[in-house]
Amino acid sequence: MEAPIAELKNVSKNYQAENVTVAALQNIDFRLNPGDMVAFVGPSGSGKTTMLNLLGCLDKATSGEVSVCQVNVAGADHNQLAELRNREIGFIFQSYNLIPVLTAFENVEFPLILQGVKDPRERRERVEAALAEVGIRELQDRRPSYMSGGQQQRVAIARALVKKPVFVLADEPTANLDSKTGEEILKIMRKMNEEKGVVFVFSTHDRMVMKYARRLVGLRDGEIVSDGGNGV
Amino acid sequence: MSTLKLAFRNILRNRRRSLLTALSASVAVLVLVVATGFIGGVETDSVKSYLTTRTAHIKVYAAGYPYNDESLPLDQALSPAQQSRLVDAGRDVGRAVGRPIGRTVSGLKMAPRLLFSASLIKDGEELMALGAGVDPQADPAVLEAPGRLARRLTDPRGILVGSDLARLLHLKAGDTVTASFRTRPGAIYADDFTILGLVDSGNPEVDSNYFFISLGAAQDYLEMPGGATEWDIRLERPDDLSRVETALQKKLGPEFQVVSWRKQLADVLSFFDLRRKVFVIINAALFLMAVIIVANTMLMTVYERFKEIGTLMALGMKRRQILELFAAEGSLLGLLGGLAGVLIGAALIRYFSTHGVDTSGIRNRGMDINVPIKGKLYAELATYFYFVAVAVSGAVAGLAAMWPARKAAGLEPSEALRRN
């Protein structure tokens, strides 16, 4: 059995909301495996985004063990987690979250600069290749405010993929897109999963995302209630 | 995309807000530049005015002579023998500090003066005045009041009167005025003198108090043959001041007091110092306002950009880099505002260093502005100060941004991404 990309062992996550403790996740065991294209599904408040936050090292578990790319998240400091996110994890957000003052090219180039890729020619080649892969190379000089939602999400995918991450986390990636554009975006991701082995992890309500995912993990009230292939 | 470039683009997002924020830095820097320019200009011109019209570089008195009050006692004057020693000592020290000019060596120039209290009376109107017996040949080389006019003092009954003093007594050149004074033995003497010219030195203190008479005539009237209350010394190189002061005092011994212009003007220099401190407080208050405005702007920026900060962290930006980004935005606001303030300030300084500000209107209304300069006040500012002002503005704004920047950098990525 191949080593997991990320693993959660008996993980719980509580949030403090004013004086009330809210249990977002309870006693979760989960393995993210190479080649996965997995979707966390479930109603609002079921813990989907919390799962993504833990896998993306954006948050730490209250108890249990989270390891990402062989790094024990609980024992890592802010800088180590920032480097882990920068090198190994891609993020795609529901609202795209592009930096508004940067062009599409610069948005995609930004993680490479953070990675310390110093050669501008290498950066240019990688950015142009990533933009070409999502089909918007001709828009590289536009700022996000001059692009449609679908175009922005493609830039976000290119930004996630340009650094060749071990896995990509996508939080409701189609929620702000029309169904046609959403499906185009999903096709791109599926193609990358199949051809390049890029691991995708979604959180979603969208049936179309569920259709394209190869593994569905059902969550309810912070617990995993199902985990299996979706038959696609 | 460097941090600075990203910071620059970020401050262009909300241009109006950035402009207003930078404006606060501009105002603080503008006031700093213009006020420093005027304070510096007025101080330089004031010292120059005192040096050339009243204090010279150094004065030498007999020990105990109260040079800082207006009593002008004649019984504490320098005797002819003391003056002879003084001239010898001056020559020696002058040689020591002098430098070759052509075939001669020049270090310092000296002239005796005999100061006494007097009254000038014209048409029943009497004003207290300060009489100065001056050597018509030697004095112009040391002091510019009366300067070359002193050469007119060939007639023992001729005097030169300060222009403001003359105005108060409605006198003009050629008029006759009665001078009354007490001789050294204590007798009251009064006689009529012809005004040979009016002294307009530019120093209101001199022009409204002094009249000048030849040293020989003064010695005769005051019954002080060969007497002088002080010797004034002008240095070829002002940098030699403390060296000459020390050397002269050492050579002359305790019978004499050698007083540099710095000691003579101790009260004035203290006033300059106080004025600078008051200005520093006022300017610090202005900078504090700018700090508050920059901090407020940056805090608003942080609140508006929580989600973006979360995104940057998700992309792998470290806390230190977030801190640097927001501090750079604050610094840039300060630098750009400071640059604008300096440019406007430099233009004003340039204008006022040439054209000056006319204070005659203020003086004509009888107001004393404590500046020994008549007419115009000129601004003056060293070029390096402009760079200092911009750097201070950038640094202060950068510091002001640190609190909001730390707030941004201290966010947890998941928390920042959750907020709108």
A83 to chain B nearest CA, in Å?
Answer: 6
- Residue-wise pLDDT tens digits, B111-135: 999 999 999 999 989 999 999 999 9
Is the CB of B1 less than 8 angstroms away from the CB of A87? no
Is the CB of B317 less than 8 angstroms away from the CB of A82? yes
CA A90-A92-A96 angle, to 5 degrees, is: 140
Is the CB of A102 less than 8 angstroms away from the CB of B316? no
Q: Any CB–CB contact under 8 A between B420 and chain A?
A: no
Contact yes or no for A159/A111 (Cβ under 8 A): yes
Q: What is the overall mean pLDDT for chain B?
A: 90
Position B357 confidence tier, pLDDT thresholds 50, 70, 90: confident
A232 to chain B nearest CA, in Å?
Answer: 31
Report strand pairing: A199-204 vs A37-41.
parallel
- Inform me whether the pLDDT recorded for A19 exceeds 90: no
Mean pLDDT of B387-400: 90
* Candidates B10, B316, B412; nearest CB to A85: B316
H or E segment and range at residue B134: strand B125-134
Could you say which residues from 101 to 120 on chain A have a Cβ atom under 8 Å away from some Cβ of chain B? Answer: 101-102, 106, 109-111, 113-115
Q: Any CB–CB contact under 8 A between A56 and chain B?
A: yes
Is the CB of B13 less than 8 angstroms away from the CB of A100? yes
Is the CB of A111 less than 8 angstroms away from the CB of B1? no
* 3-state secondary structure at position A136: coil
Position B365 confidence tier, pLDDT thresholds 50, 70, 90: low
Is the CB of A78 less than 8 angstroms away from the CB of B318? yes
Is the CB of A59 less than 8 angstroms away from the CB of B412? yes
- Residue-wise pLDDT tens digits, A66-88: 999 999 999 999 999 999 999 99
What per-residue confidence (pLDDT) applies to B174? Answer: 94
What per-residue confidence (pLDDT) applies to A230? Answer: 65
Q: Hey, how many other C-beta atoms are within 10 angstroms of the C-beta on A59? A: 24
DSSP for B291-326, written as a single string: HHHHHHHHHHHHHHTHHHHHHHHHTT--HHHHHHHH
Rounded distance between C-alpha atoms, residue A26 and residue A14, angstroms: 8
Rounded distance between C-alpha atoms, residue A127 and residue A40, angstroms: 30
Size of interface A-B (CB pairs under 8 A): 71
- Inform me whether the pLDDT recorded for A17 exceeds 70: yes
Q: Any CB–CB contact under 8 A between A83 and chain B?
A: yes
Where exactly are the structural domains of chain B? Answer: 3-49+268-418, 64-253
DSSP assignment letter at A74: G
* Candidates A86, A97, A106; nearest CB to B316: A86
DSSP assignment letter at A2: P
Q: Any CB–CB contact under 8 A between B3 and chain A?
A: no
Is the CB of B1 less than 8 angstroms away from the CB of A59? no
Could you say which residues from 171 to 230 on chain A have a Cβ atom under 8 Å away from some Cβ of chain B? Answer: none
Domains, chain A, ordered by start: 6-229 (3.40.50.300)
Rg (CA), chain B: 31
Cis peptide before B146 (omega within 30 of 0): yes
- Chain B's closest residue to A107, CA to CA, is B1
- Inform me whether the pLDDT recorded for B1 exceeds 80: no
Residues in chain B, total: 420
Q: Which residues of chain A does B1 touch, with a Cβ-Cβ cutoff of 8 Å? A: 102, 106, 109-110, 113
Which tokens hold the place of B98? 């002098």
Position B107 confidence tier, pLDDT thresholds 50, 70, 90: confident
- Inform me whether the pLDDT recorded for B93 exceeds 80: yes
Alpha carbon of residue B34 to chain centroid: 15
- Residue-wise pLDDT tens digits, A100-113: 999 999 999 999 99
Alpha carbon of residue B306 to chain centroid: 52
Mean pLDDT of B150-170: 94
Between helix A149-161 and helix A104-115 the angle, nearest 10°, is: 20
Q: Which residues of chain A does B6 touch, with a Cβ-Cβ cutoff of 8 Å? A: 99, 101-102
Mean pLDDT of B294-300: 87
Q: Which residues contact B80 (CB under 8 A, 6 or more apart)?
A: B225, B226, B227
Is the CB of B417 less than 8 angstroms away from the CB of A93? yes
Q: B137: buried, middle or exposed (CB in 10 Å: 19+, 13-18, 0-12)?
A: exposed
Could you say which residues from 280 to 319 on chain B have a Cβ atom under 8 Å away from some Cβ of chain A? Answer: 307-308, 310-319
Which tokens hold the place of B420? 């709108």
Which ipTM score applies to this complex? Answer: 0.91
Rounded distance between C-alpha atoms, residue B352 and residue B34, angstroms: 10
How far is the CA of B389 from the CAs of A131, B297, B380, in angstroms? 46, 22, 15
Is the CB of A85 less than 8 angstroms away from the CB of B315? yes
